[in-house]
Every structure is written in structure tokens, then in C-alpha cells.
Amino acid sequence: MTDNPIEYLPDDEPDFEDDLRWARRQPAYWAEKLKLDVADGIAAELERQQVSRAELARRMGTSAPFAYFGPN
């Protein structure tokens, strides 16, 4: 067994809604949701301020792939 929660998905869950209810009971679901929510918030703020990924990377002193928070 590994720590991958997908491997623990019950086989007796018949549909997507049941699978989603099961996933929402897993700590890994909420950890990933938090990561996505933070990334979405950063992307929205960058768009609001009209800051490109390239400009963000320059400000961070890194390259654009390391400053990616969604479509630009």
C-alpha cells in the first residue's frame, strides 16, 4: 500500500457523486483543494494587476515556469 488516496477508493461506490463524497472525507482532498484555491487567487490577482508570468518571474528572480499560477 502507498499513501496515494486514489488506491484506496472503494470498489463498491457506484457513481461519481459517491466517489466525490468519499474523496471529501480524505485529508489529501482538502490539501489539494487548498493548493488550487491559493493558485487561483494568485492568478486572479496577477490578472487584476496586469502582471505577466514573465514579469512575476523577473520580480521573483527566477524563470517563468517557476512563476506559473494558471493561464496568462
Per-residue pLDDT reduced to its tens digit, 31-58: 999 999 998 898 899 999 999 888 988 8
How far apart, in Å, are the Cα atoms of 16 and each of 12, 20, 24, 30? Answer: 12, 6, 12, 18
Q: Whole-model pTM?
A: 0.61
Report the sign of the C-alpha dihedral through residues 65, 66, 70, 72, in that order: negative
53 CB neighbour count, 10 Å cutoff? 19
Predicted local confidence at residue 7, as pLDDT: 58
Domain parsing of the chain, residue ranges: 27-72
Sequence-separated (6 or more) residues with CB below 8 Å from residue 7? 1
3 grid coordinates: 499513501
